[in-house]
Each structure stands twice: as C-alpha cells, then as structure tokens.
A and B are shown apart, each in its own frame.
Chain A
Amino acid sequence: EVQLVESGGGLVQPGGSLRLSCAASGFTFDDFAMHWVRQCPGKGLEWVSAISWNSADRVQADSVKGRFTISRDSVKNILYLQMDSLRVEDTALYFCARDKKILYGSGTYLDFWGPGTLVTVAS
C-alpha cells in the first residue's frame, strides 16, 4: 500500500526556517517524481515545488523561488522541503504527492497524496 506521511510542521517566526519531511513507503521511491502542494487557510490548493526521480531536475513556484528547496533521499525514501525566510503568507497545510512519472511536465498527475503537515508562520 502506497503511503506518504508528512512531518516537520509547526510554529515559526517570520524570517525563520523549517524543514518538512515526507516519508514514502509501499512503492519504489526512485521510480517517481515527487511534489509539494500547499493549502493556505481559506484558500485552494497551490502547487509549490517538484523534483525528478533522480534529483537532476527541480522546479518551484515563483512565490517560493529562492526561499524553498526541494530534495530527496533515495536511501531513506524521504522527500524534503527546506523552507527559509518564511513569511506569514507561507502559513499553510503542506502536502507531499507522488507523480505518476519519473519527470514532471506535460501529462503530469499526482496519484497519491499524504494527509499534510501544518506550518504556521507568526510572531
């Protein structure tokens, strides 16, 4: 059974940092690209970042470019999101999701999602 479980969320002050983790199990982690998607309070789903199967390709939304870094550990089967220079508007429930393909792009779809981890940026 495919499982994705996020962790690492919490309360952080503006300007601070946080690293989210997503533990993957039930499938061959190296065979799939992975994504982070967030939902800010009262808002819809917003795509954040994606990484290819072998970490060679990464892409981010403009809203987090230069502040957030996606990475993955193929030995531990964990997806990460390093979040620096956090802003109040980054407050959200963060989901990790599996891409059906090894490389994101045209035809990409997210077939399994985790339940999310909550990040609150406030002073």
Chain B
Amino acid sequence: QSVLTQPSSASGPPGQRVTISCSGNISNIGGSTVNWYQHLPGTAPKLLIYRNTQRPSGVPNRFSASKSGTSASLAISGLQSEDEAEYYCASWDDSLNVVIFGGGTKVTVL
C-alpha cells in the first residue's frame, strides 16, 4: 500500500481539463517537495513536474501542478490522446528515509 494516495483512474474527452490529487502526510509532502512522473508502458518514466510546480524543458505548459500542506495535484488542460498514460506523484519521506511513490493514476482520453 502506497504512502501517497492517488485516485486509480481519471478520464476526459479531448480538450478537457483533468486533475489528479496526491495525498500524503507531514513526513513526506508536508516536509518535502512533490514530483510528478508520466509513464507509458514499455518506455522509461519521464519527469513531468519537479519541486511542486516546475516543468522541465520540453514539457508542454498544458501540465501544471500545485501543493498545499500535505496534498498536491497535477492538472492536464487541453487533454490530448498522447496524454494517455500512468501518472505518479512522488516525494521524499523524512520519517522512513526513502523515496515514496503514489499508487499511480491511469489517465484515459475518451
């Protein structure tokens, strides 16, 4: 069972906005930064968001994220078919002294 809690799935038609939540506690999200990864089966996971809100170069600005207290969220606006993937939040946990991932959210474009 993941220490970070995400919904298992999210969906929307092309062009829609989808949000994914990630809930943790004071030892992880509350005391560190949150990162988001995109993973398509058979490929290397890709860093999507780092340090709560920052996008690496090359990541479209359709992807945005925020953090408040012990929770974070990822938003995908203008949903496109290529956005179909699994999305994971992750953070360092100071209590466990490990990196922890959320369980992943599968995004489907209807």
Contacts and interface: CB of A to CB of B under 8 A. Distances in A.
Contact of A100 (B50, B94, B99, B101): B50
A113 B90 CA distance: 15
B35 A110 contact: yes
Contacts of A4: 44
Given A47-B99, A47-B100, A106 B92 contact: yes
B110 to A, nearest CB: 23
A100 B35 CA distance: 12
Contacts of B37: 45, 110
A106 B32 contact: yes
A115 B43 CA distance: 6
A111 B35 CA distance: 10
Contacts of B50: 100, 109, 111
Given A95-B45, A106-B94, A44 B88 contact: yes
A109 B2 contact: no
A44 B104 contact: yes
A102 B101 CA distance: 21
Interface in A75-118: 95, 97, 100, 104-116
A72 interface: no
A46 B2 CA distance: 9
B33 A45 contact: no
B99 A50 contact: yes
5 contacts: A45-B104, A100-B50, A104-B99, A111-B47, A113-B47
Interface of A: 4, 35, 37, 44-47, 50, 59, 61-62, 95, 97, 100, 104-116
Given A106-B94, A107-B51, 20 more contacts: A37-B99, A44-B88, A44-B103, A45-B45, A45-B88, A45-B104, A46-B101, A47-B98, A47-B100, A50-B99, A59-B97, A104-B99, A105-B92, A106-B33, A108-B32, A108-B99, A109-B50, A111-B50, A113-B46, A113-B47
